Amino acid sequence: MELLKNTVRPFITGYLIKGEGQVYHSVQMNSNVAFQEVCVDNLAIKRVLLPDKNERTRINKLLIYNMSSKTIETKMKVHYYMNSGCVMPFVYYSPHYEAMVACTNDSYYVTGGMSQEGGPIQYQTNMHDMNASAAGNATKTVYQPLTKHSDGWSLTFDLRLLPYDQTYMYDWELSDTELVNLEKEHLALRQLFN
């Protein structure tokens, strides 16, 4: 495993995938490791942190392989939750850009993604508890309105896998001091991965 330069990020990325029995499983990935593999139920998941010359851009590619003889329709949640000791950001959903935007005192962060099935189907900006989501107890909110000082937010994607087939998903986080630069970069990534 290759460890990458540890940049100071105010939040951590985590993944949850809905497995058999409609239960969410936490997929623990170290965001500073370039390549990781895990298995959940009949799914093999590989995460690759794609190289980018801009250290303020992080793009993850997830390859999900169905190891069973039946079609699997599932959901993948990409969670963003705060590092301890960091200032809580102002987080909102941007309907025009179909992205989540987090604002801290000195930077903007745009988080988004695309799967083979399309963009996220649900955005959450409420006080989000990853453990409650894994247990299936999280409040179900689509296009949750603006929340001040959220300690976590998420994007949910639909995934459909035919027997012994694979699908893919990209998620990214972009940061800059100018929001307009991030919006342009986010739109370019959506077009590239769509």
pLDDT at res. 6: 43
pLDDT by 10s per residue, the chain, length 194: 344 444 557 788 888 888 766 667 777 666 667 888 888 888 999 999 888 777 788 899 999 999 999 999 988 988 887 777 777 777 888 888 888 888 888 888 899 999 988 888 888 776 555 555 555 555 544 444 445 555 678 888 999 999 999 999 999 999 988 888 898 899 999 999 88
Whether residue 141 contacts residue 152, with contact meaning beta carbons closer than 8 Å, is answered with no
pTM: 0.81
Q: Which amino acid is at 111?
A: T
Work out whether strand 122-124 and strand 24-27 pair parallel, antiparallel, or are unpaired.
Answer: unpaired
Q: Is 44 left (phi over 0), alpha (psi -120 to 50) or beta?
A: beta
pLDDT at res. 161: 92
163: which 2 tokens?
């027997």
Give the span between the Cα atoms of 177 and 21, in whole angstroms: 43
pLDDT at res. 168: 93
Q: Which amino acid is at 105?
A: N
Spell out the domains of the chain, with CATH numbers in brackets.
11-193 (2.70.98.40)
Whether residue 100 contacts residue 94, with contact meaning beta carbons closer than 8 Å, is answered with yes
Per-residue buried b or exposed e for 108-130, using 16+ beta carbons within 10 Å of the residue's own CB: bbbbbbbbbeebbebbbbbebbb
User: Strand (E) positions, the chain?
Assistant: 11-18, 24-27, 35-40, 43-50, 57-66, 72-82, 90-94, 99-103, 108-115, 122-124, 152-161, 166-176
Coil, strand or helix at 88: coil
